[in-house]
Amino acid sequence: MDPNLNDGGSTDVTDPFDSMDAIYDQITEADEPTGEEDTGPSRDEGGRFAKKESAEDEAHVEDEPAEEGAADEAEDTDQPEEEGEAEPVEAIDPPVSWSAEAKAKFAELPPEVQQEVLKRESDFERGIAQKGQELSTLRQQTSEMEQALSPVMSAWQQNGIPPAVGVQRLVAADAYLQRDPVGGLQQIAQAYGVDLQSLVDGEGQPAPVNPHIQAQLQAHDNFIRNFQQQQQQSETDRIVSDIDSFASATGADGKPAHPHFEAVFDDIKTMLPAVKQANPTAPVADLLKQCYDKAVWGNPTTRDAILKAERDQTAQKQTAEKSKAAKEAKRAAKGNVKGRGEPVETAGKSWEETLDAVGERLTG
Q: Domain range spanning residue 189?
A: 94-241
Nearest-10 Cα torsion for 97, 100, 105, 109: 50
The one-letter amino acid at 146: E
In a domain, 203, yes or no: yes
pLDDT digit string (tens) for the chain, length 364 residues: 444 434 444 444 444 334 334 444 544 454 455 444 455 555 555 555 455 454 445 444 444 444 444 444 444 444 444 445 556 667 788 888 889 998 888 888 899 988 999 899 889 888 998 998 899 888 888 888 888 888 888 888 888 888 888 888 888 888 888 888 888 788 888 877 787 777 666 555 555 667 778 888 888 888 888 888 888 888 888 888 888 888 888 888 888 888 888 888 888 888 888 998 999 888 888 988 899 998 888 888 787 877 887 788 888 888 888 888 888 877 777 665 554 555 555 555 565 666 666 666 655 5
Query: CA nearest 191: which of 160, 221, 170, 162?
Result: 170
**Residue 265 within a domain:** no
- The domain tally of the chain equals 1
d(CA 119, CA 108): 17
Residue 340 domain-assigned (yes or no): no
Distance CA 66, CA 72 (A): 10
Residue 360 located in a structural domain: no
Q: What is the pTM of this model?
A: 0.30
pLDDT of residue 30: 47
266, part of any domain = no
* Residue 211 within a domain: yes
pLDDT at position 101 is 92
The verdict on residue 275 lying in a domain is no
- Separation CA 20–CA 31 (nearest Å): 17
